[in-house]
């Protein structure tokens, strides 16, 4: 079945003469068979990426904290990609923790590229291209304007309200959307599954990262993954925490979240 993109109904905004209509705040992608992919508009902006020296849980690969500017808006999945969404595009379900609304895992970075390629072929990249978010886009969206260890503040005692992690998950994933979202309407950024990003990984990349739209190193051996997972300790669920794995490796704690950028990017 062909895939179509349909904007979720939002309040009409007045259009001034000579100005381009603002993009919809949310977007719904029809994957067929009643399966939808919900996405949230992430506006451009500037933030501080990484961890300050005052964070005793920060690793050296999270430093130095540095300013980053996301120059173009993009859409990001409201949730991690679920098993039913994966099946709608790929025709199978590799997930270990079975459940249609559970995040898909046991998918490698390369598997994610196949998923995105099929999704782009079906949509024809009309109005945008589906990709993995860059590491900078991911942290920007996770923080949602916050400057603290987590999107909600510094107190890890509140983490159970926002994430499935080692203290409340039973060491298995759970259906998406059952915890509180961050301020930009994104669910599960701190737990359930870690998420692949587009970038190659380098532990010292922050020392030379550009101000505008960092894309990561031009080469490497591992790809970045971000966010805590169902087996993660609180310190590993922080907004700035970085992970890396080989792009061909599939693990039961790593999934992904879809981004949609301008087709000409």
Say how many Å lie between the first and final Cα of the chain, rounded.
27
Q: How many domains does the chain have?
A: 1
Residue 12 lies in a domain: no
> In this structure, is residue 230 part of a structural domain?
yes
Share of the chain above pLDDT 70, in %: 91
> What is the C-alpha to C-alpha distance for residues 30 and 211, in angstroms, rounded to an integer?
35
Q: What is the pLDDT of residues 180-226, one digit of tens each?
A: 999 999 999 999 999 999 999 999 999 999 999 999 999 999 999 99
Question: Is residue 18 in some structural domain?
Answer: no
Tell me the pairing of strands 223-226 and 194-200. antiparallel
**pLDDT higher than 70, residue 76:** yes
> Mapped to the 3 state alphabet, what secondary structure does 53-91 carry?
CCCCCCCHHHCCCEEEEECCCEEEECCCCEHHHHHHHHC
Q: Flag whether 55 is in a domain.
A: yes
Say whether the peptide bond before residue 64 is cis (omega within 30 degrees of 0): yes
Mean pLDDT of all residues in the chain? 92
**Residue with tokens 């039961």, as numbered in its chain:** 252
- Indicate whether 17 belongs to any domain: no
Helix residue ranges per DSSP H, 125-245? 135-143
Q: At 121, is the secondary structure helix, strand, or coil?
A: helix
Q: What range defines the domain where residue 255 resides? A: 44-261
| 32 assigned to some structural domain | no
User: What pLDDT, in 10s, does the model give residues 95-125?
Assistant: 999 999 999 999 999 999 999 999 999 888 6
6 found inside a domain? no
What CATH number does residue 142 fall under? 3.90.1580.10
pLDDT value, residue 22: 79
Is 13 contained in some domain? no
């Amino acid at each position: 079945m062909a895939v179509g993109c349909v904007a979720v109904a939002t309040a009409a905004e007045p259009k001034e003469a000579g100005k381009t209509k603002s993009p919809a705040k949310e977007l719904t992608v029809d994957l067929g068979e009643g399966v939808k992919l919900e996405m949230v508009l992430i506006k451009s902006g500037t933030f501080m990426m990484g961890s300050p020296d005052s964070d005793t849980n920060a690793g050296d690969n999270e430093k130095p904290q540095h300013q980053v500017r996301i120059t173009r808006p993009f859409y990001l999945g409201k949730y991690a990609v679920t098993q039913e969404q994966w099946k709608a595009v790929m025709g199978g379900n590799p997930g270990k923790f079975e459940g249609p609304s559970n995040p898909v895992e046991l998918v490698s970075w390369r598997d994610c590229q196949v998923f995105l390629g099929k999704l782009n072929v079906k949509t024809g990249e009309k109005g945008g291209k589906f990709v993995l978010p860059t590491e900078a886009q991911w942290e920007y969206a996770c923080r949602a304007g916050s400057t603290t260890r987590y999107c909600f503040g510094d107190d890890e005692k509140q983490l159970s309200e926002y994430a499935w992690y080692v203290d409340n998950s039973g060491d298995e994933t759970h259906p998406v959307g059952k915890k509180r979202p961050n301020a930009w309407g994104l669910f599960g950024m701190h737990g359930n599954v870690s998420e692949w990003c587009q970038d190659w990984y380098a532990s010292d990349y922050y020392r030379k990262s550009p101000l505008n739209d960092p894309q990561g190193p031009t080469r490497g051996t591992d790809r970045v993954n971000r966010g805590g997972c169902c087996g993660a300790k609180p310190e590993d669920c922080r907004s700035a925490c970085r992970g890396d794995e080989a792009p061909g490796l599939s693990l039961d704690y790593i999934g992904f979240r879809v981004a949609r950028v301008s087709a000409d990017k």
